[in-house]
């Protein structure tokens, strides 16, 4: 009986990982196709940024809503709807007649994608109730997700060089269909004991806050950083953040309970997710433009050159999962920031003729850091959280990842927006310094958010959240 139950749990983990694989793959596979898309649609650097950020930004805006919907309407149901929408959006991306249509269909993909990551994590958390088993399962989940992120450029390079950029979206369709069928057969339905109500007002504020911030960063170089519209967007984003905190504290059932952030591990995990995925998103964006536009490598060659990132990410994600299960999240978090910072600092010395061996060493460091960081972020974010709010807590952690990816592309893309050739290389040095700073921030936040004092804040906050949940039920 126990062995059968273990096989059932393992199969559920595999199904969750299937959907996460295509979701993660799509975050990065488009990067290697950017030069081909640029040539076909005569796109600017800011257009390319929107091709990436239309996906990550929409996901970031909707993840918390998707987590709440999963807790309320059923995790299996929302998961299947998400996979279907994602696969349909992928199919439409492959036939997009222009850049505007491609950006719009990327947004549609993201609507479905927002229902994959947090819901899958919630299913895993509710399936694996033993803390050690759960930590190992999250480690496997993180390694598959990390592998898909890093394999995107490699798979994309093969498809773009062999068939064309539109083919990068085809791969999602058969995997999506298989995931829908297998989920219906093997994944039991589950809901929160009492989920929050849908909060359209809070959702609207999140969209305004993130949308205005990202638009301002991407369009700043074109319109001028001191232009009234750009300054107005930044002010609007800041005011929206304040309004979100004020209004959500007053709501009985908010989109996101900002009291979550009273937990130092939860707040630290959210900030580390922004920093870590900012590094990965920025690296993939800048590196693709460098390899193809400056060094004139093909899409396939560019993808193969980033294979060390994929290998290290996969290997060290598994190592990190094991370390979290046996030693807790402190060690892998403290270790993760070091290679991220070192790899980025190495890339501040790029030239038009940097040796391949130098690049590979830098890529290895980036891959190691990204591999180490994901599992402990997930584990830390869930620390002390009531089990029936796993969907919302997972959604916040996932939102932080997407915000980081979106901002990483937006900020570094804006730094190099006007650069071509030698100008691109010199301006990219400043972008790599920003990325190195993110690595240093992860070291600091990892140490602060995993200490005894931080764990005590998580315990106390979890008890408060559990009491409030019981009060709402009664």
Over its length of 474 residues, how does the chain's per-residue pLDDT go in tens digits? 344 477 777 888 888 888 778 877 877 788 888 888 988 888 887 788 888 888 888 888 887 788 778 877 888 889 899 999 999 999 999 999 988 899 999 999 999 988 887 788 778 877 887 777 777 787 787 677 767 876 788 888 888 888 889 999 998 889 889 889 888 888 878 776 666 677 888 888 988 998 898 888 888 877 888 888 999 999 999 999 899 888 888 877 777 778 788 888 888 888 998 999 899 889 988 998 899 888 889 888 888 888 888 888 878 887 887 788 777 788 888 888 999 999 999 999 998 899 999 999 999 999 999 888 877 887 777 666 666 666 566 667 778 888 888 888 888 888 887 555 567 888 889 999 999 999 999 999 888 887 778 777 777 776 676 666 665 555
Q: How would CATH label the architecture of 2-187+255-473?
A: Up-down Bundle (1.20)
Half-sphere CA count of 400, side-chain side, radius 13 A: 22
Range 419-428 contact pairs with CB under 8 angstroms and sequence separation of 24 or more:
420/293, 421/294, 421/352, 422/352, 424/289, 424/290, 424/293, 424/294, 425/290, 425/294, 425/350, 425/351, 425/352, 428/286, 428/290, 428/347, 428/350
Between CA 145 and CA 468 the distance in angstroms is: 33
Distances (CA, A) of 54 to 134, 395, 402, 444: 33, 18, 11, 31
Residue 345, pLDDT score: 95
The span from the CA of 384 to the CA of 393, in Å, is 11
Of 147, 146, 15, give the one whose Cα is nearest residue 75: 15
Dihedral sign computed on CA atoms, order 458, 62, 51, 121: positive
H-helix or E-strand containing 208? Answer: helix 200-223
Which among 301, 312, 279 has a CA at the least distance from the CA of 405?
A: 279
Structure token pair of residue 3: 């062995």
Token duo for residue 248: 């959500």
Q: Please state, in angstroms and rounded to a whole number, the distance separating the CA atoms of residues 205 and 272.
A: 23
Please name which of 114, 66, 142 lies closest in space to residue 323, comparing C-alpha atoms: 142
- What pLDDT score was predicted for residue 1? 38
| Residue corresponding to tokens 């819901």 | 119
Rounded Cα distance between 3 and 5, Å, is: 5
Domain limits, the chain: 2-187+255-473, 199-254
Residue 471's pLDDT is 58
pLDDT value of residue 422: 61
Tokens of 422: 């030698």
Q: ∠ at Cα 143 (138, 147), nearest 5°?
A: 150
Phi first, then psi, for residue 102 (nearest 5°) are -60, -45
Q: What is the DSSP string of 256-320?
A: S-GGGGGSHHHHHHHHHHHHHHHHHHHHHHHHHHIIIIIS---HHHHHHHTHHHHHHHHHHHHHH
pTM for the full predicted model: 0.82
State the chain's maximal CA–CA distance in angstroms: 68
Residue 353 phi, psi dihedral angles, 5° rounding? -135, 25
Q: pLDDT value at position 88?
A: 94
Is 81:75 a contact under the CB 8 Å cutoff? no
Rounded Cα–Cα distance for residues 20 and 122 (Å): 13
Locate 335 and state its tokens.
Answer: 């270790």
End-to-end Cα spacing for the chain: 36
Q: What is the pLDDT of residue 385?
A: 66
């Amino acid at each position: 009986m126990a062995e059968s139950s273990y096989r059932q749990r393992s199969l559920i983990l595999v199904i969750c990982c299937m959907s996460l694989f295509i979701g993660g793959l799509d975050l990065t596979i488009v990067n290697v196709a950017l030069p081909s898309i640029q040539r076909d649609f005569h796109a600017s650097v800011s257009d390319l940024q929107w091709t990436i950020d239309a996906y990550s930004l929409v996901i970031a805006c909707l993840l918390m809503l998707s987590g709440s919907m999963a807790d309320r309407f059923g995790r299996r149901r929302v998961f299947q709807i998400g996979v279907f929408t994602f696969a349909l959006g992928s199919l439409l991306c492959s036939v997009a007649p222009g850049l505007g249509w491609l950006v719009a269909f990327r947004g549609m993909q993201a609507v479905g994608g927002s229902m994959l990551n947090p819901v899958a994590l919630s299913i895993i958390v509710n399936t694996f109730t033993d803390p050690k088993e759960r930590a190992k399962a999250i480690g496997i989940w993180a390694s598959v997700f990390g592998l898909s992120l890093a394999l995107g450029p490699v798979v994309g390079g093969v498809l773009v060089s062999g068939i064309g950029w539109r083919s990068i979206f085809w791969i999602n369709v058969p995997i999506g269909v298989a995931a829908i069928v297998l989920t219906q057969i093997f994944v039991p339905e589950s809901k929160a004991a009492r989920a929050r109500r849908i909060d359209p007002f809070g959702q609207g504020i999140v969209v305004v806050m993130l949308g205005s911030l990202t638009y301002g960063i991407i369009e700043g170089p074109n319109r001028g950083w001191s232009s009234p519209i750009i300054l107005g967007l930044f002010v609007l984003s800041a005011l929206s953040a304040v309004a979100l905190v004020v209004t959500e504290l007053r709501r009985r059932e908010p989109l996101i309970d900002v009291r979550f952030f009273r937990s130092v591990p939860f707040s630290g995990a959210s900030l580390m997710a922004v920093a870590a995925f900012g590094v990965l998103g920025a690296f993939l964006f800048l590196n693709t433009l460098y390899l193809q536009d400056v060094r004139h490598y093909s899409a396939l060659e560019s993808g193969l050159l980033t294979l060390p990132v994929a290998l290290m990410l996969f290997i060290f994600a598994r190592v990190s999962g094991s370390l979290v299960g046996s030693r807790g999240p402190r060690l892998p978090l403290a270790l993760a920031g070091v290679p991220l910072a070192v790899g980025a600092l190495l890339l501040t010395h790029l030239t038009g003729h940097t040796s391949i061996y130098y690049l590979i060493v830098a890529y290895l460091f980036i891959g190691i850091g990204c591999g180490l960081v994901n599992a402990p972020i997930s584990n830390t974010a869930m620390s002390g959280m009531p089990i029936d709010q796993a969907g919302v807590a997972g959604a916040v952690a996932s939102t932080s990842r997407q915000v980081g990816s979106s901002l990483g592309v937006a900020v570094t893309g804006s730094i190099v927006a006007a650069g071509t050739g030698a100008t691109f290389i010199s301006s990219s040095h400043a972008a790599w310094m920003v990325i190195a700073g993110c690595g240093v921030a992860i070291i600091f936040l990892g140490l602060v958010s995993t200490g005894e004092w931080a764990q005590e804040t998580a315990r106390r906050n979890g008890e408060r959240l559990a009491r409030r949940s019981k009060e709402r039920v009664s």
